[in-house]
Amino acid sequence: MLKRGFYIWRLVWTAFAFAALSVGGFILAMTVIPIVTLFVHDEQARNRRAQFIIRESFRVYIGMLRGLGVLKLEVVGAEKLSACSGKLIIANHPTLIDIVLLTALLPNAKCLVKSELFANRFLRSLVKSAGYIRNDYYEPEVLIEKCRETLAAGNNLIIFPEGTRSVPGKPLHFQRGFAHIATLTGVIVQPITITCDPITLVKGEPYYKIPDSRPSFRIEAADEIDPKQFLRLASESRARGARRLVTYLEADYCSRLNHA
């Protein structure tokens, strides 16, 4: 009886949490961020102010979920993440709220996002104010230059190499985009592993299909990677170095996730 009662409690507050995320995002996008950035003309300063508001909002949101018993959260290497500056952040993508968790933990975080968000009338002001980068530039050189400028300014750029949420039980498959950014900019890569047990909020399942027990999220910062080590020869093509980086990280993630 007690277990059933706790399940219903979590189900109710999970529904509330997703409603709060939608309403909160709307309020931030339509009122709070436009107001606090209205008279800030410097683009970098405007981005930083919007990023700070988003990060603190997500920190409060995650604190609420933990306080209500909706989820547990363990962060390994929190100090490393809070000190990140100008790094390419990559992570596996098992659940719907991974970006919320990472943005709450990382300072000055920008994301590589789908172009649909820039066309969304409710969210476009938020993603523009925060300086997020759209992933559909027609010229790859333009995308690389945008990423280079973002990283050089001290922002952390979050990318999910899979391009979408993982499918439970299937091996990870990383796209090469992040590796090209890393090898062309020479920026340090900070890998992050996200696990959730029991798994929830996976691709293709509604948010209200929650597990019988409270899910425990674990976020772990791995050792940093210098992409230059994958360019073995000065004359070697960066495309080959990018492939080597992808192969290494796919194997590394599979090993660590299987161990977890």
DSSP codes, 20-66: HHHHHHHHIIIIIHHHHTTT---HHHHHHHHHHHHHHHHHHHHHHHH
pLDDT at 233: 54
CATH domain 2-259 topology: Glycerol-3-phosphate (1)-acyltransferase (3.40.1130)
Task: Give the per-residue pLDDT at 43.
Answer: 87
Task: Return the pLDDT at 207.
Answer: 86
Residues in the chain: 260
For the stretch 135-167, what's the b/e string if a residue is b when 16 or more beta carbons lie within 10 angstroms of its beta carbon? eeeeeeeebbebbbebbebebbbbbbbbeebbe
What does the mean pLDDT of the chain come to? 90
pLDDT at 238: 79
First-to-last CA distance in the chain? 32
Cα distance between residue 47 and residue 34, in whole Å: 11
Specify whether the CB–CB gap between 228 and 186 falls below 8 A: yes
Q: Which residues of the chain have pLDDT under 70?
A: 122, 138, 232-236, 259-260
Residue 229, classified by CB atoms within 10 Å of its CB into exposed (0-12), middle (13-18) or buried (19+), is exposed
- pLDDT of 227: 92
Look at residue 191 in the predicted model and tell me its pLDDT: 98
Q: What is the pLDDT of residues 173-198, one digit of tens each?
A: 999 999 999 999 999 999 999 999 99
